[in-house]
Chain A
Amino acid sequence: MTTLEHLIAGFSTALTLANLGWAFVGVTLGTLVGILPGIGPALTIALLLPVTSTLTPDAAFIMFAGLYYGAMYGSSTTSILLNTPGESGSIVTAVEGNLMARQGRGAAALATAAIGSFVAGTIGTILLTFLAPVIVKLAIRFGPAEYFSLIMLAFVTISAFLGESRVKGMASLFLGLAIGLVGIDSLTGQARFTLGFPNLLNGIDVVIVAVGLFAVGEALHIASRPDLREARIEAVKGSLMMTKEEWSRSWLPWLRGTAIGFPFGALPAGGTEIPTFLSYVTEKRFARNPEEFGHGAIEGVAGPEAANNAAVAGVLVPLLTLGLPTSATAAILLAAFQQYGLQPGPLLFQQESTLVWGLIASLYIGNVMLLVLNLPLVGLWVRLLSIPQHLLYGAILVFSTLGVYSLNGSTFDLALLAVFGALGFLMRRSDLPVAPCVIGLILGPMAEAHFRRALSISQGDLSVFVTQPISAAILAVALAALVVPPVISWTRSRRAVA
């Protein structure tokens, strides 16, 4: 079957009444958690995992994907009206969009963000549709050595590009890898690092770690910092119908933002933050009146908001075709696949073609739903922002403990939740990025298994990773990503001294 035939079949899955319903639940929940500060898509999907085990995989993933897209739409509303980003991908919007809102142009900012998200989300989904089969064709020949090298590349880029310093990114990654080692070794049955607790034999569930690091860690961090607790909500002023001038100033930034965002998501460089910053800088350079930037320029909202949605679509490419998550949410989605006994990768496209293409088709539908939910109905969502912080975080933590407990029905997990909450708090205090930790936790055991499998095929010969051309090329790129930037900055600083 051609890609188009697959896509049409996918639409016939996604357009059933039940699946439309799940897509709607997903985008609505996504918008909700995107708008609420302190709770994001990774956390929400993690909390839903114990509940969704009763759903069919089609329904669950259609809902999760809608949730992931929806969170990006919703977070722009929070960024514009409250000067705190709803999610990390909206940091730029929290500056430029909030400035627009303060000048009474909040409605225009909301409109360009929502329409830009729609344009970028749709183009991103089209790119995903046609790129995924190509990568699948390539990846079908990958063996354990290639997968191991790919994971190494993801580790290097994720820890190097997320957060303020590579050392901190690496430290976070190694923390995740260490947590992933706890439990029974899958190849030999040997118990490792369980400290004698039988509850740890099956390993530490990624849900507990994610909920601890995100929900509990964030609550402790916000509560400890009086400067983060106060926020002023701007009322929506102006017209949601953009003027002709606003359209003409927005459409190019949307397209450029998409062009910047999608590759960043698709490459294992990961994250939605960097493309938004890049897009902002690009728009400032192209703008007819760059002096407006920093005082509420519509281009500075349109570009980054398109970039983060395109990046979200991009992230799904390596996740679905290679099983390689490049953001915290994608890591949790991978855990969700594993919960259903599914492994994303080329085989998923062959064996679960209905699921994959139904999921992709539902993204197109979800984008349309989100445009409607977020533009005409934005007034309803804005009311959520007036929920007092103490009630919001109280509720988040109650649902967090509920979700964690229902994993295994064990209060041991609640104690673990407190431990990882404390870790998340400490990490935030010293600016250790949380995403590498979650990704390391989920990819670490896979990396170890591929590594040892590759070596058992090669009978213990370590050179297998560099003698196979694809694996060697990937490792070379990883090495370059690790070594080149520090060398450049070192030579630059030497030149500056000399």
Chain B
Amino acid sequence: MRATRLSADAIIGIGIALLGVGFAIATARIDVQPVYAKIGPTFVPWLVSAGLIATGSLMAWAGLHGPPTAGHEAKTEWRPVAWIFAGLIADWLLFKPAGFIIASTVLFFCVARGFGSRSALWDALVGAALSIAAYLLFRYGLNLTLPGLLAGIWR
């Protein structure tokens, strides 16, 4: 399991360094008015870009060459991650068109699946009950507007 641990550090380090390169490119494209030429809106972004590149590269280098860090031999399951992430995406896409209650029920269901629950119907029911309760609390208790149940109905 050491190999995955090393590559995780290396991959994330490279990712951070690449983000730094992206920030540097974006910084170069910021228009600077001559009045602010000395310490303008790009000064700190340059520093931050450099910092991301430096720390990311150091992390990646340590991940590839350094001694392995102990205590991370646990295995990773990717299915739960996919379930939860799918739930979040579904929540984002359904929130406006289908309303808060349906979107949240779907999210709850997906997260429960991700955590290995086996009773699908029960999860959906608990999710729906929780979502309706939260909707009522926010809509009538706290006066915050949420997209209701399907367009036009109950909002």
Binding site for B on A (CB under 8 A): 50-51, 54, 164-165, 167-168, 170-171, 173-175, 177-178, 181, 185, 187-188, 190, 192-193, 216, 219-220, 222-229, 388-391, 393-395, 397-399, 401-402, 405-406, 409, 411, 414-415, 417-418, 421-422, 425-427, 429-432, 444, 448, 451-452, 455-456, 460
Contacts and interface: CB of A to CB of B under 8 A. Distances in A.
Contact of B78 (A164, A167, A224, A448): A224
B82 to A, nearest CB: 10
B117 A402 contact: no
Given A178-B48, A398-B108, A405-B146, A171 B16 contact: yes
Contacts of A220: 80-81, 84-85
Interface residues of B, number: 77
A399 B109 CA distance: 14
B81 A425 contact: yes
B62 to A, nearest CB: 7
A181 B48 contact: yes
Contacts of A228: 74
B88 A174 contact: no
A357 B5 CA distance: 49
Interface in B117-155: 117, 123, 126-127, 130-131, 134, 138, 142-146
Given A390-B123, A406-B138, A430-B8, A181 B44 contact: yes
B38 interface: yes
B80 A223 contact: yes
A185 B12 CA distance: 28
Given A178-B49, A192-B27, 19 more contacts: A167-B58, A170-B51, A174-B20, A192-B41, A220-B80, A223-B84, A224-B80, A224-B81, A225-B77, A226-B74, A229-B116, A390-B115, A398-B104, A398-B130, A401-B104, A402-B100, A411-B95, A448-B44, A452-B43
Given A418-B89, A425-B81, A174 B52 contact: yes
A156 to B, nearest CB: 12
B123 A227 contact: no
Given A167-B62, A224-B81, A415 B75 contact: no
Contact of B56 (A165, A171, A223, A224): A171
12 contacts: A51-B144, A54-B142, A164-B69, A167-B59, A178-B52, A225-B75, A390-B112, A390-B117, A397-B87, A421-B88, A430-B59, A451-B39
Interface string B28-71: 00111100101111011100110110011011001100000100
A444 B47 CA distance: 12
Contacts of A226: 74-75, 77
A460 B38 contact: yes
B26 A193 contact: yes
A391 B126 contact: yes
Contacts, number: 203
A222 B76 CA distance: 10
Contacts of A395: 108, 130
Most buried by B among A223, A394, A395, A415: A394
Contact of B95 (A51, A216, A405): A405
A483 B12 CA distance: 25
Interface of B: 8-9, 12-13, 15-16, 19-20, 23, 26-27, 30-33, 36, 38-41, 43-45, 48-49, 51-52, 55-56, 58-59, 62-63, 69, 72, 74-78, 80-81, 83-85, 87-89, 91-92, 95-96, 100, 103-104, 107-109, 111-117, 123, 126-127, 130-131, 134, 138, 142-146
Most chain B C-beta atoms within 10 Å of own C-beta, residue among A164, A178, A193, A223: A223
Contact of A394 (B48, B75, B78, B111): B111
A188 B39 contact: no
A421 B111 CA distance: 13
A224 B96 CA distance: 29
B106 to A, nearest CB: 10
Contacts of A224: 76-78, 80-81
Nearest to A421: B88
Residue of A164, A171, A181, A455 most packed against chain B (CB within 10 A): A171
Contact of A229 (B63, B84, B115): B115
A226 B81 CA distance: 12
Contact of B116 (A175, A390, A397, A399): A390
Of listed B9, B44, B80, B83, residue having the most chain A CB within 10 A: B44
A496 B109 CA distance: 57
A488 to B, nearest CB: 19
Contacts of B113: 390
A418 B85 contact: yes
A165 B9 CA distance: 12
Contact of B131 (A165, A190, A398): A398
B88 A394 contact: no
A402 B115 contact: no
A409 B112 contact: no
A366 to B, nearest CB: 24
Contacts of A451: 39, 44
Contact of B55 (A171, A394, A406, A427): A171
A175 B87 contact: no
**B9, B27, B92 pick with most chain A CB within 10 angstroms:** B92
